[in-house]
Amino acid sequence: MFSKILSRVLSALMKLMWSYIIFPEEGDLPTVKADFYALGHIPNIIGAIDGTHVALVPPNDDEQVYRNRNNYHSMNIQVVCLADQYISHVNAKFPGSVHDAYVMRNSSIPYVMEQLQRQRVWLIGDSGYPNLPWLLTPVRNPRTRAEERYNEAHGRTRRVIERTFGLLKARFRCLHMTGGSLMYSPKKVCHIIVACCMLHNLALRRQVPFLQEDGPDGGVVEAVEPVESEEEEDSEDDTDNRDRVIQQYFQ
């Protein structure tokens, strides 16, 4: 009975996804950019992007596809968040073996950001992503003080996506490793993840307080989990764009 009810609830929630997970529109950009600027003093940032893994029990016939670089089975979830940890985009359809950069390229994010290019705005991501006209990544081996300042500002700004993952998985323990592996089909797991992101946004907008659960030893469960690092695709596709940002704002 629970399984039937869960399927119906998820189906209903998926129809409302675009009402609760909303990418900033042009009229929202000045406020979004100001909020991000306050984090690390990098101008024109409208989102932080990263991937995180949610464990599941894989289908028997495709087990290896779901095994991630940390040697457990998962879905690789791409999220873009705002400076207040609101989730503005989620892509939950790729298995754990897929790299973050591939997920990004095969999502709607490139199209959305290219439509906003006349606004001269950027997303910010880690070195697992390529440098693009609309995506700023850190300098892998900084050689000047300006590059070091840029990396420091980049780290302060990008940290919001790590806090977002921590809050999301602390509020919805089924997404965290401590909650075990989700024992549903990959499609249903994707729907569960998106539903949790919707409810996360609803909780933020309605200012629902986050109450940390008591841990098994009587302490408090840590809200932030370790961030999985993916740096195997440190592409330098558009370093000119990043260099212009460094020269203009960090010299």
Q: What is the pLDDT of residues 86-111, one digit of tens each?
A: 999 999 999 999 999 999 999 999 99
Closest CA to 79 of 95, 100, 99, 96: 100
**pLDDT band, very low/low/confident/very high, at 221 (cuts 50, 70, 90):** very low
Q: Which of 47, 215, 179 is nearest to 116 (CA)?
A: 47
What was the pLDDT predicted at 238? Answer: 65
Of 238 and 125, the one with more pLDDT: 125
Tokens 């973050």 belong to which residue? 100
> For residue 89, what are the β-bridge partners?
80
**What is the pLDDT, as a whole number, of residue 66?**
97
What backbone torsions phi and psi does residue 105 show, to the nearest 5 degrees? -65, -30
Q: Are 237 and 104 in contact (CB under 8 A)?
A: no
Cα separation, 74 vs 186, in Å, equals 9
235 has a pLDDT exceeding 60:
no
**Token digits of residue 142:** 């900084």
User: Which of helix, strand or coil describes residue 8?
Assistant: helix
Q: How much is the average pLDDT of 37-61? A: 96
